[in-house]
Amino acid sequence: MSRIGNKAITIPSGVEVNIAEGNEVTVKGPKGTLTKKFSPLMQIEINEGILTVKRPNEEKHTKQLHGTTRALLATMIEGCSNGYTKVLKVVGIGYRAALAGNKVTLNVGFSHPVELNVPEGVTVTVPDANTINVAGIDKQIVGQFAANVRAVKKPEPYGGKGIRYVDEHVRRKEGKTASAKK
């Protein structure tokens, strides 16, 4: 019994969901439009503003598809109505970020600045030199680009320098101490 797959999704006002032939779902909302094709095994239905996903049998493969399909539909509806945002902090002396056109430039202690191209469907803002806001309607693309930015210089546990998410806790380690010779 899938707990996630059996949950019903309430479609908020201002969001329109259309199911085309072959389980192609289009979600239109105030933030934009997303389209995704799902497995023909799943039965996606809309009744009175509530979206449900049903599976035809109890095989392991269809159980896995059931929960995944429902979760993807929920994130599509959430993205089109509210959108997704990831906020990153650049921590370190001399570390900074800048936005020039469609590229994010990171100066994070390397001999050269690192430039990253902003993908289609993602909006990046840099309110100050140490903050990067990544926003968009597709949760996967927003999360992937934020992870790519973080991967340039992951936070290190000794000095705490690097690029981290705002809500991320970096466990700090104690460094080496000079021992007194006897």
For residue 29, the tally of other CB atoms under 10 A from its CB is 22
Q: What is the C-alpha to C-alpha distance for residues 36 and 7, in angstroms, rounded to an integer?
A: 20
State the pLDDT at residue 174: 87
- DSSP letter (8 states) at residue 153: S
Q: What is the pLDDT of residue 179?
A: 66
Q: What angle do CA 155, 161, 167 make, to 5 degrees?
A: 55
Which pLDDT score, from 0 to 100, does residue 136 have?
96
In the block, residue with structure tokens 């497995």: 39
Q: What is the pTM of this model?
A: 0.89
What is the Cα–Cα distance from 88 to 154, expressed in whole angstroms?
11
Tell me the mean pLDDT per 10 residues along the chain, length 182.
Answer: 84 93 94 94 92 92 93 95 96 95 94 95 95 96 97 93 94 80 59
- What's the count of helices (H) and strands (E) in the chain, helices before strands? 2, 13
Say how far apart CA 104 and CA 42 lie, in whole Å: 40
* HSE of 22, CA atoms in CB hemisphere, 13 A: 4
For the chain, what's the residue count? 182
Distance CA 145, CA 141 (A): 6
Per DSSP, 70 falls in state H
154: alpha, beta or left? (left if phi > 0; alpha if psi -120 to 50): beta
Residue found by looking up tokens 């509210």 in the block: 82
